[in-house]
Amino acid sequence: MEFARLVSEDPAGRLSAILFRGKPRRPEEQLAVLLSNLPAIEEHLVKGAVVVIEESRIRLRPLPL
């Protein structure tokens, strides 16, 4: 089963996913972007969400969809 589908169908809503979109980044760059944005997304991740981090914005979708 596809990971995104598993996350979206979690009945407890505890799973989350973070997707990086845009130009490829080295792992260190991804970590820096994640840590700098974590305060804004942490609450959503704890509750269950899909977070898409793009060059110019962050999109959040609460789970389940």
Cross-strand bridge partners of residue 50: 17, 61
Residue-level pLDDT at 16:
86
pLDDT in tens, 1-15: 576 677 667 666 578
Give the model's pLDDT for residue 7. Answer: 63
Q: What CA–CA distance (Å, rounded) separates 31 from 37?
A: 10
Instruction: Determine if residue 16 is left, alpha or beta; phi over 0 gives left, psi from -120 to 50 gives alpha, anything else beta.
Output: beta
The pLDDT score that the predictor gives to residue 20 is 93
Looking at residue 43, what is its pLDDT?
94
- How far is Cα 14 from Cα 44, in angstroms, rounded to an integer? 10
- The terminus-to-terminus CA distance of the chain in angstroms comes to 17
* pLDDT number for residue 15: 82
**Each residue's pLDDT tens digit, 15-52:** 888 999 998 889 999 999 999 999 999 999 998 888 99
